[in-house]
Amino acid sequence: MLLLIKNGTVINPGDKTEQKADVLVEDGIIKKIVSGQSVKADRVVDASDCYVMPGFIDMHVHLRDPGMEEKETVETGLKAAVHGGFTTVVAMPNTKPVVDNADVVNYVHNKGKNMGLAHVLQAGAVTKGQRGEALSDIEGMVEAGIPAISEDGKSVMNAQLYREAMTLAMKYDIPVLAHCEDINLVNGGVVNADETTEKMRLKGISNSVEDVIAARDIMLARETGAALHLCHCSTKDSVKMVEMARKEGIRVTAEVCPHHFILTSSDIRENDANYKMNPPLRTKEDVEALREGLKKDIMDVIATDHAPHTAIEKGMGIRRAPFGIVGLETAAALTMTELVDKGYLTVMQMAEKMSYNPAKILGLEKGVVEEGKEADLVVFHPGREYTINPDDFYSRGKNTPFAGKKVKGMVMATIVGGRVVYEK
Ligand code: DOR
């Protein structure tokens, strides 16, 4: 089977080149990248006016399967992924049961494979049942193929236990994806702690909730030598700390989610829980620091923290609704609109942060558009404008604060292992 992706601008972060070319794919592998030649193929995807980029890799997704299928399933989550241009996703382990042993890892991996949509890689929980008391079967899960460990949704508050986990991560050569949140400092907070939210009479979550654990985890990474990846950074000091740690040679990388580089707590609409996520929307100063951090390549990754919840749950108001918003189907357009179009990032940086860097961090041979490599690709039109409408989402979760927002940038086709799995 020969697939030809024609007339696009090929973005290859592998060697930082951008060129007008056709991409010929045979049996799942990129066979040739050529220009000005006539090539015959079984199927042609027209990429005129589009970028042909390495398929996006989302390091931070909640598929909710097993156990919370009313919010999302592996199938609906992966349909949402390919609709958003993602060809690989890392699923977080805060499911029911928690992914703390090889059986649950195998369950998700098998389900993912059978879908034939995006690749799914299941992250393993750090502690049994995410209870923070004893380590999960990290070795068994490594054998089952986890790309990383993470206690996402919370932090392991026992630093000694976390240090042990980091030592194991170092031994097995996998990164630790860290959700930084000091649960004692949260103290019932639901939104950022600032003047705006005080006026709304909502309990606040201060920046220190994130910063103290980020600092602790960086010190533990220094001590153990483990590769630490800070999830969903939301504060200006997280950017500073990553920069400082890197200068010292500590193995730390960091991600930012679109909602954190776009919205502030002032955008929160009265009692609308689509503005409630963890960490919360911060202040203008934080947003600007995150944007600058991305621009200067201090912050390596754009991830979504795709966190679907039901309409009933999200309808309970800001105080009672669960934390989290969906992101798989809006991330690329939001990045193009808010970062590339506004001059913070080049398209090459977008491809690096949404594909190449996640691949490097996770140790995957992905994130490039090169001959001989697996054809995981996205055809992305940077100029197509539309209005975000949650009814168009394939995800079960419709919980987004971006409904009605005008954006620029549309996924025209997603190709996984040489198969067109989504086409506009
Ligand atoms: O807002 C969030 N929702 N943040 C997290 O860290 C977890 C996630 C969830 O699982 O719903």
Q: Domain ranges for the chain, please list them.
A: 2-51+374-395+406-423, 55-362
Question: Which ligand 1 atom is the nearest neighbour of the CA of 232?
Answer: 6
Ligand 1 within 6 A of CB of 324: yes
Supply the pLDDT for residue 38.
86
Ligand 1 within 6 A of CB of 211: no
User: What are the pLDDT digits (tens) for 409-424?
Assistant: 999 999 999 999 999 9
What's the gap in Å between 82 CA and the centre of ligand 1? 21
> Using CA positions, which residue lies closest to atom 6 of ligand 1?
153
What's the gap in Å between 110 CA and the centre of ligand 1? 24
Give the CATH superfamily of 2-51+374-395+406-423: Urease, subunit C, domain 1 (2.30.40.10)
Ligand 1 within 6 A of CB of 172: no
Ligand 1 within 6 A of CB of 397: no
Question: Which ligand 1 atom is the nearest neighbour of the CA of 92?
Answer: 10
> Using CA positions, which residue lies closest to atom 3 of ligand 1?
324
What's the gap in Å between 277 CA and the centre of ligand 1? 7
- Domain 55-362 is in which class? alpha beta
What's the gap in Å between 326 CA and the centre of ligand 1? 10
Supply the pLDDT for residue 266.
98
Supply the pLDDT for residue 316.
97
For a substitution probing ligand 1, which of 71, 98, 277 has the most ligand atoms within 8 Å of its CB? 277
Supply the pLDDT for residue 37.
86
Tens of pLDDT along the chain (424 residues)?
999 999 999 999 999 999 999 999 999 999 999 998 888 999 999 999 999 999 999 999 999 999 999 999 999 999 999 999 999 999 999 999 999 999 999 999 999 999 999 999 999 999 999 999 999 999 999 999 999 999 999 999 999 999 999 999 999 999 999 999 999 999 999 999 999 999 999 999 999 999 999 999 999 999 999 999 999 999 999 999 999 999 999 999 999 999 999 999 999 999 999 999 999 999 999 999 999 999 999 999 999 999 999 999 999 999 999 999 999 999 999 999 999 999 999 999 999 999 999 999 999 999 999 999 999 999 999 999 999 999 999 999 999 999 999 999 999 999 999 999 999 9
What's the gap in Å between 361 CA and the centre of ligand 1? 21
pTM of the predicted model over 0.95: yes
Ligand 1 within 6 A of CB of 381: no
- 13 touches 355 (CB < 8 A): yes
> Using CA positions, which residue lies closest to atom 7 of ligand 1?
153
> Which residues are catalytic, by number?
305
Ligand 1 within 6 A of CB of 273: no
